[in-house]
Amino acid sequence: MMVYYALMKTSQSRHGVRADGKTQTSISLRGDLLAAAKKAAGEENRSLSNWLENLLKEKLEPVPRPRSENTDSEGAGKKSGK
For residue 54, the tally of other CB atoms under 10 A from its CB is 13
> pTM for this one?
0.55
Of 24, 57, 53, the C-alpha closest to 37 is 53
Does 71 have pLDDT greater than 70? no
Q: Distance (Å, rounded) from C-alpha 8 to C-alpha 6?
A: 6
- Taking only the tens place, the pLDDT of each residue in 3-27 is 544 444 455 556 667 778 889 899 9
- Taking only the tens place, the pLDDT of each residue in 31-66 is 999 999 999 999 999 999 999 999 999 999 877 778
Q: Which residues of 18-45 are buried (b: 16+ CB within 10 A; e: fewer)?
A: eeeeeeeeeeeeeeeeeeeeeeebeeee
